[in-house]
Each structure stands twice: as C-alpha cells, then as structure tokens.
C-alpha cells in the first residue's frame, strides 16, 4: 500500500538557520507533490506545488525539491524565523486524480 | 480571497445522534473534500466530490455520507454518531487543475466534533 513518511514528528532549529524537512514515499508514483503549513487549531494553508518533471521550485524563503528516483521531496526554509514555527504537511497526487494523500506532518519549532 | 466556511467550529453530540457538518466555498471550485484529522494519524480523506451530485469515497468513508446539491456547498453527514468519530473535520475545495489533477486545496478552519 502507499506510504508517505515525513522524517520526524518534530524538528527544532535555531533562528536564522535553514530548516530542512523531508517527505519520503513508497509504492507510489505521484504526478505532483504539494506542501502545506498548519497552525494549531487552523486548517492547512497551501505553500508550494511541484510536478514530477520539475526538480526544484522556489518561493521567497521557501525551496522544494522533488527526486522521483529517490522517491523524496525536501522542503527548505532559509533564514528561519520564530513565525515559521508550525506543522508542515506534504501531500502527493497521482496523474488525473482528484485525491491527495497527506503525510502526518512535521512540527517545526524555530527557537529565538 | 478564497473562502471556505464551515458551519460550526465546535460541536458536542451524543452517541447515536445524527450530525450535519456544512461547508460552503465562494470561488466556484469544482472539487470539494471532507477530511478528518487525528493525532498520530494525520489527514485522512473521507469523501470528495468533483461536481454537483457527484461523490466518491475516500480512504475512510464508513459511517459517513455526503451531499452536494449545489456547487458551492458540500455537507458531511454522520447518520448515527459514535465516540470513535470524535475528531477535527476539515473541508477543502479546489479547481480541477491541470490534466485533471487536483490543484491547491483551500481549507476551512475546521469543525471539532466531540461525541459523548
């Protein structure tokens, strides 16, 4: 069965450093991958989408990579700030599919 | 801005009660979804709809039904609530996206349901 793993449940990082979150998957050939941010008690908010034929996407301090050979996506936040503290979710979608399958998320804490 | 509005933020119901969770989106999105989110289990898809009166089962449809009579509204129904349905319920919507893929999801704020 399909499996999505986000590297750790929690990640602590010092302010100003680059945070790197990992999303690995097995038994799946996604056509695209999305990353979301979720604050406590709120719904997730979309951040970035990357397609299978794209290696890298950037948006301001965010960068996402997608390696279909390694079956892995990396999500980077450069110059991290305490306001970046949240849970980050990856989600995978198949070609022509309406469904997204979510990972369980990584809770990032940026320490001042 | 896209807005997805869920009718109730917090509900407390008793076992066996019928529960309606309403969701309305204002961006003319084709797709609408209902997820539940539980600690340690993440977001799991219950049902989704890609058009009016159309519905598809997600990963955990048992104990739930849905209704989509209008494009902007998608309702989740618990016919007979049970304690294991205590959870955070999240509604989302999206455009159909490129090549039929789902575009970015816009989520509501969630409805926290407690079944006693």
Q: What is the DSSP string of B79-102?
A: SS--GGG-EEEEEEEE---GGG--
Q: Is B5 on the interface with A (CB under 8 A)?
A: no
The mean pLDDT of B15-20, rounded to a whole number, is: 97
The mean pLDDT of A5-11, rounded to a whole number, is: 85
pLDDT exceeds cutoff 80 at B50: yes
pLDDT value of position B99: 59
- Work out the mean pLDDT of chain B and round it to a whole number: 93
Q: Do A99 and B104 touch (CB under 8 A)?
A: no
Can you read off the two tokens belonging to residue A26?
């097995």
Question: pLDDT tens across B74-109, in order?
Answer: 999 999 999 999 999 999 999 876 656 667 899 999
The mean pLDDT of A107-112, rounded to a whole number, is: 96
8 A C-beta contact, residue B79 and residue B65: yes
pLDDT value of position B96: 75
Top mean-pLDDT range of A66-70, A79-83, A91-95, B98-102: A79-83
Phi, psi of A55 (to 5 degrees): -90, -35
How many Å is the maximal CA-CA distance in chain B? 44
Of B30, B33, B42, which to mutate for an interface test with A (greatest number of A Cβ within 10 Å)? B42
């Amino acid at each position: 069965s399909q499996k999505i793993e986000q590297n750790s449940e929690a990640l602590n990082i010092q302010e100003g450093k680059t945070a790197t979150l990992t999303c690995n998957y097995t038994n799946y050939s996604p056509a695209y991958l999305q990353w979301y941010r979720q604050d406590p008690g709120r719904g997730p908010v979309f951040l970035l989408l990357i397609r299978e034929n794209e290696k890298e996407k950037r948006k301001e301090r965010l960068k996402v990579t997608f390696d279909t050979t390694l079956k892995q996506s990396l999500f980077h936040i450069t110059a991290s700030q305490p306001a970046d503290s949240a849970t980050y979710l990856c989600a995978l979608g198949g070609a022509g599919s309406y469904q997204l399958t979510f990972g369980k998320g990584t809770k990032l804490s940026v320490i001042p | 801005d896209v807005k997805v509005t869920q009718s109730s933020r917090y509900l407390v119901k008793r076992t066996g009660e019928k529960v309606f969770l309403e969701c309305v989106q204002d961006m003319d999105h084709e797709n609408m979804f209902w997820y539940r989110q539980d600690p340690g289990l993440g977001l799991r898809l219950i049902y989704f709809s890609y058009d009016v009166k159309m519905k598809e089962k997600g990963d955990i449809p048992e104990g739930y039904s849905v209704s989509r009579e209008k494009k902007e509204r998608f309702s989740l129904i618990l016919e007979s609530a049970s304690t294991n349905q205590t959870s955070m319920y999240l509604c989302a919507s999206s455009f159909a996206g490129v090549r039929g893929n789902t575009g970015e999801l816009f989520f509501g704020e969630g409805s926290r349901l407690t079944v006693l």
